[in-house]
Amino acid sequence: MEPIINPWLIWFIGFLDALRKISVTFWVIGTIFLCITTVSLLMFREDLETTTIKLFNKIIKALIITTSICMLLALFVPDKDIAEKLIINSYITEDNINTVEDNQTS
């Protein structure tokens, strides 16, 4: 007998949950580093050389890009509970409900 819910979907839910947690972690860490880097660049801009300022600008751009990607992943990847509810709702159809009702009355 074939399972009603594919076991790979259960694995995929765990994968999405881990991806979301990692994204949130990197989002928070990236935001903190972005703030520290920007503030330190603004505070010490007069004392820094041009090459160091260019390096800071590259670091800030990279942090903005990675933090934005992590933020989008954290916002749009569903957590475990929502993913489970989405899968369960896709399997609750009128035919399945009628099948359960027919089996109970028999």
Domain residue limits, the chain: 29-82
Rounded CA-CA distance 6/88 in Å is 12
Q: Which pLDDT does position 75 carry in this prediction? A: 93
Q: Are 41 and 59 in contact (CB under 8 A)?
A: no
Asked whether the beta carbons of 64 and 56 are under 8 A apart, the reply is: no
How far is it, in rounded angstroms, from Cα 104 to Cα 94? 15
Sign of CA dihedral 64, 68, 69, 70: positive
pLDDT of residue 105: 66
What is the pLDDT, as a whole number, of residue 20?
94
> pLDDT-based confidence at 33, cuts 50/70/90?
very high
Span 65-84, pLDDT tens digits: 999 999 999 999 998 899 88
pTM for the whole structure: 0.74
Q: What is the pLDDT of residue 94?
A: 78
